Structure 1
Amino acid sequence: MRILHTSDWHIGRSFHGHATLDALRGVLDALVAQVRECEVDVVLVAGDVFDSATPAAGAYTLLSDALRGLADAGATVIVTSGNHDSAARLGFQSGLLRDGVHVVTDPATVGTPITVADEHGPVHVYGIPYLEPVLLRSAWPGVRSQTDVLAHAMDLVRADAGRRGGRSIAVAHCFAAGVEPTPHLERDIQQGGLDIVPLTTFDGVDYMALGHIHGRQQLSHRVRYAGAPLHYSFDEGHKPRGSWLIDLGAEGLGEVEWLPLPVPRTLTTLRATLDELVSADRFADHVGDWIRAEYTDPLPQRDPMRRLLARFPHCAEVRHAPEAAPRDDRRTYVQRVRAARNDAELVDAFLSHVREGEGASAREAELIGELIDERSRVEANA
């Protein structure tokens, strides 16, 4: 049996204020083509299908089209809810879908598989929706954290799989021990303490398909994150986009292959002075990229975004990131102020302090001298 593991579509998410629906549609169309070409039997979508609990109408349309395309390509599709999804809204969608598409959102169904079969017999797929501990304490006494609820869910999975026999797969959405999250991107499930789920929690199944981390990660041969199919942050721009293609043989897990997906627009961070960014030939190849510009001028410049957009029409972020000048003078700011012999040296000490070592330029020193002289003349005539 061939299984495709994907996750974290985040339909409806914006990128620095820009809509991503059209870009994501193209990527998911490529995913459907891969399912058809590779003759995939089952597609697993491990949570965060939507980016919001209240998705716009266009997000529903894109999801319906993508799931229909996957089913038409010959795959059974199993979708679980994530921490961004509204389980109720995603569950309502399931009632409108065709046969062969399963949306798992109800914690009460944990431990009840969706069973598919091949020439070697049944494969039991256990969808585990995102589990909120505070909402499950009455149904599952004693659970207080993500570790607790995932451990209880996997106990239910293992118990049912043991009774049924055959091969088994589970799908969940969480932080697992050993992951490397993208800073400021994966929200709402804390990393640290009890919210990191140990890998041993996922023992007992042939493959564990995880969602929530936006970059692909292999925690063991049988425990993996597929990551998001689209880049949603410059911090993840270097991470490949794609999904895992899993071969499940008669004896269980076989080969696992990475299938890359197209990147609609490359994410690039450029660093130089503002004048260099808007004119230097070495940046010409990046005119069509999403751009995060870090300009290194000592002082903030006027209208940097307007100037950058004239060259890079997809510039999404501008940062003032001046180069730190080396400090040969190791005196403290107070020591430099006390050592100043005149007002000009006092101003230079201040500039050196706020600019992290860079004092007044020659032109600035000239202007400072003129201003000090003018003030002296005014005070003398007062």
Structure 2
Amino acid sequence: MKLLHTSDWHLGRSFHGVGTLPAQRRFADQLLATVAAEGVDVVLLAGDVYDRALPNVDVVNLFDDILARLNEAGVPIVITSGNHDSATRLGFGGRIMERAGVHLRTRLADLATPALFPLDATGPAGPQLAVYGIPYLEPRLVAVALDAEPASHFSVTEAALKLVRADLSARPEGTAAVVLAHTFASGGITSASERDLAVGGVGAVPLDLFDGFTYTALGHLHGRQRLSETVRYSGSPLPYSFSEAAHTKGAWLVEVTADGLKEVRRVDWPAERPLSVLRGTLADLLADPQWDAAEAHFCQVTLTDNDRPANAMEALRTRFPNTLVLMFEPENARDRGAESYSQRVLAAVDELDLCCGFLDHVRHRPANDDEQGLLRDVLASVHAQEAAL
């Protein structure tokens, strides 16, 4: 049986102000093409179907279209909810949709209720694949219901998997078990003294919580990665930040037999418009041929000119029309000392010094003679008006 492991579709998300719905429709075509070309039997979607709890109508219609096309192809899908989804809204009608091959696992009550699929031609009488779905579990909201103490990502995930294992143990020997989970898993092993991990303030669960399952299909992280042979993140099908510029997007194709996990291989879905992260002076970026390929990409640009160029974005877009993010990091910034702006304000000797200091702070270069003259005239005019009041 072939499974296609996907996650983090984030339907409806924008990319630095650019709508992604056309790109997501293209991804839907890639998904269905892979299902047909590879003879996929079941699609797995490990959470974050939508980018927000209340998606707009066009976004819901896109998801509806994907489900209809999978149904027409005779391919079921198992879906769990992520932290961006509304589990209740996503799970609406789940018991009815199950009959059409859409298996929604968004409720705590369904943790130990797998979607079952025959592993060979003998059908329901033969070996089965049991797919369990663990939605994103917010510890403060579910700890009591799961009898998990203390309320942590570790404890609620451990409690959910205990229910899964209890159901699996009552099934016929040889049942293959796949777990979908929308969570942050890390390496390492569990211990009584350090039960909850955190990376960047986000709760993490140790990898060995998923020991013993045929395959664990994770969602939440947007980079496709292998944590172990049987535990993997598929990543998002599209890049949703410039930190993903080096990612190759796609999914995992997982083959399971009655003997267990047979093979896992990657399926790539190239983006229609790749991402580029550029850095340099404005003159170099506009002239250097090494950036030729980036001319058709979405670009994030960091200019290193010591003097901030005028109309920099307009100039960049003459060569890189899809520049979306522009930042400034002057090369001489390191030589300007670590003095804060508030310290410079307090050290100003007069109003002119204060105004020139502000220009220096925002432009990373001092005011020239003409600019100082203009500021001096403006300040004199202001003082004259105040005196006349």
The TM-score with structure 1 as length reference comes to 0.81
CA separation in 2, counterparts of 1:194 and 1:292? 27
CA separation in 1, counterparts of 2:52 and 2:319? 33
Report how far residue 360 of structure 1 moved.
Answer: 8.0
CA separation in 1, counterparts of 2:216 and 2:98? 25
Q: 1:309 to 1:96 in 2, by over 3 A?
A: farther
CA separation in 1, counterparts of 2:97 and 2:110? 19
- 1:236 maps to 2:237: no
The one-letter code sitting in structure 1 at the alignment partner of 2:178 is I
Q: 1:193 to 1:18 in 2, by over 3 A?
A: closer
Report how far residue 359 of structure 1 moved.
Answer: 8.8
For residues 268-324 of structure 1, the C-alpha deviation after alignment (integer angstroms, 9 at most, x for no partner) is 011121233334444333221001111111022222222222332211100112224
User: Match for residue 129 of structure 2?
Assistant: 123
Q: 1:109 to 1:318 in 2, by over 3 A?
A: same
For residues 8-54 of structure 1, the C-alpha deviation after alignment (integer angstroms, 9 at most, x for no partner) is 00001100011001101101211111111110111100000000001
Q: Which residue of 283, 293, 315 maps to 1:285?
A: 293
CA separation in 2, counterparts of 1:190 and 1:313? 40
Q: 1:68 to 1:98 in 2, by over 3 A?
A: farther
The one-letter code sitting in structure 2 at the alignment partner of 1:198 is P
Contact 2:148–2:159 under 8 Å retained in 1: no
Contact 1:146–1:195 under 8 Å retained in 2: yes
CA separation in 2, counterparts of 1:53 and 1:194? 20
CA RMSD in angstroms comes to 3.4
SS at match of 1:196: strand
- 1:153 maps to 2:154: no
User: Match for residue 66 of structure 2?
Assistant: 66
Contact 1:27–1:262 under 8 Å retained in 2: no
Report how far residue 158 of structure 1 moved.
Answer: 0.8
Contact 2:10–2:51 under 8 Å retained in 1: yes
SS at match of 1:307: helix
For residues 213-249 of structure 1, the C-alpha deviation after alignment (integer angstroms, 9 at most, x for no partner) is 0001111100000000000000111011010011112
Q: 1:299 to 1:190 in 2, by over 3 A?
A: farther
Q: Trace 1:156-195 onto structure 2 (pairs within 5 A).
A: 156-164=163-171, 165=173, 166-178=175-187, 191=199, 195=203
Contact 1:177–1:197 under 8 Å retained in 2: yes
Contact 1:245–1:256 under 8 Å retained in 2: yes
User: Match for residue 385 of structure 2?
Assistant: none
CA separation in 2, counterparts of 1:194 and 1:306? 39
Contact 1:10–1:49 under 8 Å retained in 2: yes
SS at match of 1:92: coil
SS at match of 2:227: strand
Q: 1:205 to 1:273 in 2, by over 3 A?
A: same
Contact 1:147–1:194 under 8 Å retained in 2: no
Q: 1:241 to 1:194 in 2, by over 3 A?
A: closer
Q: Which residue of 306, 329, 338 maps to 1:298?
A: 306
User: Match for residue 216 of structure 1?
Assistant: 224
Q: Trace 1:16-95 onto structure 2 (pairs within 5 A).
A: 16-92=16-92, 94=94, 95=96
SS at match of 2:279: strand
Q: 1:288 to 1:208 in 2, by over 3 A?
A: same
SS at match of 2:128: strand
Q: Trace 1:324-363 onto structure 2 (pairs within 5 A).
A: 324=332
User: Match for residue 108 of structure 1?
Assistant: 109
CA separation in 1, counterparts of 2:366 and 2:52? 50
User: Match for residue 210 of structure 2?
Assistant: 202
Contact 1:170–1:208 under 8 Å retained in 2: yes
Report how far residue 89 of structure 1 moved.
Answer: 1.5
The TM-score with structure 2 as length reference comes to 0.80
Q: 1:178 to 1:25 in 2, by over 3 A?
A: farther
Q: 1:91 to 1:263 in 2, by over 3 A?
A: same
Q: 1:133 to 1:237 in 2, by over 3 A?
A: same
Q: 1:324 to 1:252 in 2, by over 3 A?
A: farther
The one-letter code sitting in structure 1 at the alignment partner of 2:242 is F
* Residue segments in structure 1 that go unaligned for 5+ positions in a row: 180-188, 334-345, 375-382
CA separation in 2, counterparts of 1:133 and 1:108? 16
Percent same amino acid at aligned positions? Answer: 41
Contact 1:230–1:241 under 8 Å retained in 2: yes
Q: Which residue of 142, 151, 154 maps to 2:148?
A: 142
